[in-house]
Amino acid sequence: MGHAVAGAASQTWPPFVLVAGLILIGAVVEADGLFAAVGTRIERIGGGPVALLAALLGLEAVVTAVLNLDTAAVFVTPIVVHAARQRDCDERPFLYGALFIANGASLLLPGSNLTNLIVLAHEHVSGAAVARAMALPWVAVVTLTIAFVAAVFRPRHEGGAAEPLPPLRLGAGALSTIAATGLILALRNAALPVLAIGVVAVAFRRLRPRLDAHVLGGLFLLAVALGTLARRWHGPASLLRHAGGIGAAAIAAGASVVVNNLPAASLLSAQRPPHPLPLLIGLNLGPNLFFTGSLSTYLWHRAARGAGARPSLVQASLLGLVLVPLTIAAALAALALADPSAL
C-alpha cells in the first residue's frame, strides 16, 4: 500500500508544483500590465467583431499554451470581456470562448495543463517533441473553437470610445515567462525550476498573489488517492488497452466530467497508457462538457464575475455538448495526420 501511495504521489506532485509556479509568474505578468497592454493593442486592430474575437482568443490560446490554462483563465478572461465592451460587442462569445479556449489550447505543451504532465510522466519525451506532435491538433481545436462561438453568437455590434493606450513594459513578468517557457521545452520535469522563478519574480515585485491552495490541495489528494487505487486495481489500464486511441479519448472525456480531469489523469495513467496523446485530448477537451471537468472552469467563473460578467454554467455546458465532440474529432483527425502511430 505504501509503495502504491508513494508512486502516485511521485507521479502527481510535479504538475501541481509547476502550475503554482506558472500562476505566480502570471501574477507578475498581470501586475506589469503586460496582459492589459497586449489586449488593448489587439482591440485597436481594425476589423469587425469576429476579427476582434479571433484575435483575443488567439492571444488567450498562446497564453494558455505558454503559461498554463489556469493562468489564462484567471488573467486573460477579464481582458477579453473588457475589450468586447470597449467595442460595444455582445460579450457572450468572448466570455464562453475564453473558457473553451483555456481548455482546448492546453494541448500544445506539457506545462500547458497539469493533466499533460501526469499522463506524460511515463514518457521520456521533451516538451519540444510533444509540441511537434500536438501542434496540428492544437491549431485545429483553436480554429474550430473560435469559429464555433462566432457562428453561435454572430457578434455584430461595434463602437465604443477608445481608452488611452497603456504602456507596453517588458519587465520581470516577460523575462520570467521567457525563462519558464525555455525550461518547460528543454526539461522533462521543470516543476521546481519554474516554481523558483515564480517565487523570485513575486518577491522582486513584492506581490502576494492568491494561489487557491485549498483547491489545489484537495485535487492533489484526490489525484493521489485515485492513482493509488489504480496501482492496486488494474481495471483502468486494462480498459484503455482494449479501447484504442479513439476509445481512450472518449473514456478520458467522460472520466474528467465525473471526477475532474486531474484525478482522472492519475486514475487512467497510473500504468503507462498505450495511447497517451489521445488520452490527453480527451482529458483536455472533455472538461468543456461540464463545470466539474477542470479547475480552470472554477477559475474562469470567478474571474468573469470579478470583471462584472454574468457567466452561466448551464449555457456553457449546453454549448459544450456540441463543441466537445467536434473538437475531439478534429483533434484526433489532426493527430492521425501528424503521427498515425499515436492512434
The full set of domain ranges for the chain reads 2-342
> Which residue type does 71 have?
T
Tell me which H or E stretch contains 119.
helix 114-119
- Positive/negative CA dihedral, 39, 45, 47, 51: negative
161 burial level (CB within 10 Å; 0-12, 13-18, 19+): exposed
Top-confidence residue, 188 or 81? 81
> Dihedral (C-alpha) 276, 282, 285, 286: value to the nearest 10 degrees?
-150
Gyration radius of the chain's alpha carbons: 19
CA atoms within 13 A on the CB side of 232: 12
Amino acid 81: pLDDT: 86
pLDDT in the model for residue 7: 67
pLDDT category at 4 given cuts 50, 70, 90 is low
Position 5 scores a pLDDT of: 75
Tell me 166's DSSP state: P
Encode pLDDT of 9-19 as tens digits.
777 777 778 77
To the question of pTM greater than 0.85 for the whole model, the response is no
Q: What are phi and psi of 46, to 5 degrees?
A: -65, 165
At residue 120, does pLDDT exceed 70? Answer: yes
| pLDDT of the residue at 230 | 66
